[in-house]
Amino acid sequence: MNRAALLLLALTCLHADDALLSNSDAGQLAKHVVQLMESTSAAIPELQLAAAPLVAGAGHTLAALAKQPASLPLTAELVGRTRAYLAIADATPKPYPFSDTAAKQFTELRNGYERLQIHLIALMEAKEAQTHNPDPDDLKRYADENGRLPAPGVSPRVVFLGDSITDVWHLNEYFTGRDFINRGIGGQITSQMLGRMKADVLDLHPRAVLILAGTNDLGRGASLESIENNIMMMADLAHVHSIKVLIASILPVGPRREERPLPKIQQLNQWLQSYCAKADCVYVDYYSKLRDPSGFLTPDLSDDGLHPNSRGYRLMAPVAIAAIDSAVGGAAQTSPASKRRVHVF
Let me know: does 33 contact 108? Beta carbons within 8 Å. no
DSSP secondary structure string, 252-316? P--TT-TTS-HHHHHHHHHHHHHHHHHTT-EEE-HHHHHB-TTSSBPGGGBSSSSSB-HHHHHHH
Report whether CATH 3.90.180.10 matches the domain 143-339: no
pLDDT under 70: residue ranges of the chain: 1-18, 330-345
How is domain 3-132 classified at the architecture level of CATH? Up-down Bundle (1.20)
pLDDT tens per residue across span 196-218 = 999 999 999 999 999 999 999 99
Domain ranges of the chain: 3-132, 143-339
